[in-house]
């Protein structure tokens, strides 16, 4: 039976390269983020840095990345560095269970960090979404004995060439060994598996998919007994988020997903973001408030007929920039991303 077609988002604005650069600021930031439909048909390749170079650089830097281990609760830890997403690790007699795979170039450091946690073999890996900094390690981890689990759209994006237009980069199809071997459907699908519950190492691991948000294939991983939840890139703690409009992501989808998570966690829950430090429900609520405030400001101005340049000139993110403006998604770029989705 054929799987349902992934949701797509039609974007109301079509911005020229000049408009984007005026609103987004640094070319290097512009090269890292942004949906396809933010641009008219003119090429941006001649005037922006190519993500192909940036990806190569990131993967090269991964070879020397320093990975830190933070013990959370019980037999659960998190591995982090400045390049790839946070990797949660559950260990025990059933083997290691990883949330996200990191960059392939960090294999040596990841292997050493995992060995420092325990001698248990690697048995399962969940990809929270398809982006390379969360899936690059799939192939070697599968070779080490892991079953790869992800949303079906993660497998779809990885199994075919997937282009990110602003990045001016087409990700080639991944090797078969890197593809998820167990897939989940979007929560609420009429047929097929929408989520899963695993019983490993004396704890319950709950996998929940959501409607398109950061991408069209996000999965949230909850260690229910330990009261720890990993959100992938639905949450960037202390950083403006990237939203992948090119595969159906949206600012409203991120807000909806964040609201749903806030409703299910408590003040005692440890919340692991895709990027940034491990946090709490209170930190996540601050993120939600920031998203809603910026979204509403931009939407109001856009409804009044203001162009993206005019909206950006009002600095709608201003009160949050000191706290959230330190990522490659600059305040200007985030404004453009929000403008495209309201």
- Pair 33, 337: CB distance under 8 Å: yes
Tokens found for residue 337? 């991303």
pLDDT the model gives residue 320 = 96
pLDDT the model gives residue 188 = 58
> What is the C-alpha separation between 93 and 127, in angstroms, rounded?
22
Cross-strand partners of 150: 183
Instruction: Sketch out the chain's domains with CATH numbers.
Output: 17-340 (3.60.15.10)
pLDDT the model gives residue 29 = 35
Which residue in this structure is represented by tokens 């013990």?
71
- Ramachandran region of residue 201, left (φ > 0), alpha (ψ -120 to 50) or beta? left
pLDDT the model gives residue 54 = 57
pLDDT the model gives residue 337 = 86
pLDDT the model gives residue 187 = 62
DSSP string, 142-178: HHTTPEEEEEHHHHHHHHS-EEETTTTEEEPPPPGGG
pTM as predicted: 0.84
Residues 6+ apart with CB under 8 A from 286: none
Q: What is the DSSP letter of 121?
A: P
Residue 208, number of CB atoms within 10 A of its CB: 19
pLDDT the model gives residue 60 = 81
In the chain, the N- to C-terminal Cα span, in Å, equals 35
What pLDDT tens digit does each residue of the chain (342 aa) get? 343 332 222 333 333 333 433 333 333 333 333 343 333 222 222 223 333 455 677 778 888 889 999 999 999 999 998 778 899 999 999 999 999 999 999 999 999 999 999 999 999 999 999 999 999 999 999 999 999 999 999 999 999 998 876 566 688 999 999 999 999 987 654 444 568 999 999 999 999 999 999 999 999 999 999 999 999 999 999 999 989 888 999 999 999 999 999 999 999 999 999 999 999 999 999 999 999 999 999 999 999 999 988 998 899 999 999 999 987 778 887 898 899 899
Strands 87-90 and 96-99: antiparallel
Cα 83 from chain centroid (whole Å): 13
pLDDT the model gives residue 59 = 76
């Amino acid at each position: 039976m054929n799987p349902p077609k992934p949701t797509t988002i039609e974007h109301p604005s079509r911005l020229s390269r000049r408009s984007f650069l005026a609103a987004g600021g640094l070319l290097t930031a512009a090269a890292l983020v942004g949906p396809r439909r933010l641009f008219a048909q003119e090429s941006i390749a001649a005037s922006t840095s190519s993500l192909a170079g940036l990806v190569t650089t990131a993967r090269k830097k991964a070879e020397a990345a320093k990975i830190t281990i933070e013990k959370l609760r019980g037999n659960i830890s998190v591995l982090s560095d400045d390049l790839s997403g946070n990797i949660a690790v559950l260990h025990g007699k059933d083997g290691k269970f990883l949330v996200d795979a990191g960059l392939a170039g960090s294999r040596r450091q990841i292997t050493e960090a995992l060995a420092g946690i325990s001698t248990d073999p690697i048995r399962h890996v969940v990809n929270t979404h398809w982006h390379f900094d969360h899936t690059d390690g799939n192939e070697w981890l599968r070779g080490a004995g892991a079953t790869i689990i992800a949303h079906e759209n993660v497998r779809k994006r990885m199994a075919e060439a997937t282009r990110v237009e602003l990045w001016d980069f087409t990700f080639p199809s991944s090797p078969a060994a890197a593809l998820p071997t167990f897939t989940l459907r979007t929560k609420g699908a009429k047929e097929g598996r929408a989520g899963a519950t695993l019983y490993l190492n004396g704890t319950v691991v709950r996998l929940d998919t959501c409607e398109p948000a950061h991408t069209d294939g996000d999965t949230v991983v909850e260690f229910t007994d330990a009261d720890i939840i990993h959100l992938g890139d639905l949450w960037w703690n202390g950083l403006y988020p990237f939203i992948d409009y090119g595969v159906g992501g949206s600012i409203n989808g991120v807000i909806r997903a964040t609201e749903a998570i806030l409703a299910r966690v408590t003040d005692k829950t440890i919340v692991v973001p895709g990027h940034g430090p491990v946090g709490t429900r209170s930190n996540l609520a601050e993120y939600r408030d920031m998203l809603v405030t910026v979204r509403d400001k931009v939407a109001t101005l856009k409804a009044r007929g203001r162009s993206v340049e005019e909206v950006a000139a009002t600095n709608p993110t201003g009160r949050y920039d000191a706290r959230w403006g330190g990522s490659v998604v600059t305040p200007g770029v985030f404004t453009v991303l929000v403008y495209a989705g309201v």
